[in-house]
Chains A and B, each alone.
Chain A
Amino acid sequence: MMMVIEASRSAPAFIGLAFVFSISSLGVSLAQFAVQFSATFLVLLLISSVFNSLSWAFFWYRHEPGYVHIRRGVVFKSERSIKRERVQSVNVYTNILQRAAGLATLQIKTAGTGEEAEVNLRALTLEEVEAIKSHLKKDYSPDSPPEEEAEEAVHRLDNKDLWLAGITSGRFLVLFSVIGVVFSQLFTYIPDWIYDYALELLIDVPLAAIAIAAILLFLLSWALSIISFVVQYARFTIRRYEDRLEISWGILKQNHVTVGLHRLQALVVMEGVFRQPLGLSTLYIEVAGGGAEGQEQISMLHPLVRIKELQGFLGGILPEYSVPAAPVELPQRSLRRYLLRAMAPAALFAVAAWAALAEYGIGNGWLALLLLVPAALLGMSRHANGRTAVEGCQMTLRFRDINRYTVMINKPHLQSLSLLANPFQRYNDLRTVRAAVLSSPSGKSFQVKDVDADEARRAWEWYSHR
Chain B
Amino acid sequence: MTQGTLDRLREKLRLENEPKERIDPRAWKVWTITGAINFAILLPLALAFDRFAVGLVNLPSLAGTAVLALALVYGPWGMAIAPWLRMRFWRYEVREKEMEIQHGIFIIRRHLIPMVRVQHVDTEHGPLMRYFGLATLYVNTAASRFPIPALPQGRAEELRGEISALAGVSDEDV
Contact = CB atoms under 8 A, between A and B. Distances in A.
Interface of A: 262, 288, 412, 414-423, 426-427, 429, 436-439, 442-445, 460, 463-466
Interface of B: 9, 12-13, 15, 95-98, 104, 106-114, 117, 141-144, 146, 172-174
B95 A466 contact: yes
B144 to A, nearest CB: 5
B107 A420 contact: yes
Contact of B111 (A412, A418, A421, A422): A418
A438 B106 contact: no
B143 A427 contact: no
B107 A422 contact: yes
Nearest to A261: B173
23 contacts: A415-B113, A416-B111, A416-B113, A416-B117, A417-B111, A418-B110, A418-B111, A420-B104, A420-B109, A422-B106, A422-B108, A426-B13, A426-B15, A427-B13, A438-B142, A442-B143, A443-B143, A445-B144, A460-B112, A465-B95, A465-B96, A465-B97, A465-B98
A460 B97 CA distance: 14
A463 B117 CA distance: 12
A233 B166 CA distance: 47
B114 A288 contact: no
Contact of A436 (B9, B95, B143): B143
B12 A426 contact: yes
Nearest to B109: A420
B172 A416 contact: no
A448 to B, nearest CB: 15
Nearest to A457: B16
Nearest to A439: B143
Contacts of A427: 9, 12-13
B144 A416 contact: yes
Contacts of A262: 173-174
Contacts of B174: 262, 288, 438
Nearest to A419: B110
B141 A417 contact: no
Contact of A419 (B109, B114, B142, B146): B109
Most buried by B among A416, A463, A465: A416
B34 to A, nearest CB: 24
Given A464-B98, A465-B97, A465-B98, A437 B143 contact: yes
B109 A415 contact: no
Nearest to B97: A465
A461 to B, nearest CB: 10
A320 to B, nearest CB: 13
Nearest to B104: A420
Contact of B172 (A412, A421, A437, A442): A412
Contacts of A288: 142, 174
A124 to B, nearest CB: 30
A415 B173 contact: no
Contact of A417 (B104, B108, B112, B146): B112
A419 B19 CA distance: 13
A415 B13 contact: no
A429 B144 CA distance: 27
B117 A415 contact: yes
Contacts of B143: 415-416, 436-439, 442-445
A6 to B, nearest CB: 35
A443 B142 contact: yes
Contacts of B107: 420-422
A293 B127 CA distance: 40
Contacts of B15: 426
A302 B64 CA distance: 55
B21 to A, nearest CB: 16
Contacts of A412: 172-173
A436 B144 contact: yes
A443 B113 CA distance: 14
Contacts of B106: 422-423
B163 to A, nearest CB: 14
Contacts of A417: 111-112
A381 to B, nearest CB: 24
A421 B107 CA distance: 5
Nearest to B110: A419
Contacts of B104: 420
Given A262-B174, A443-B142, A465-B95, 5 more contacts: A415-B144, A416-B111, A416-B143, A417-B112, A465-B97
Contacts of B117: 414-416
B111 to A, nearest CB: 5
Given A436-B144, A438-B143, A465-B98, A416 B112 contact: yes
Task: Give the one of A418, A423, A427 with max B CB within 10 A.
Answer: A418
A465 B114 contact: yes
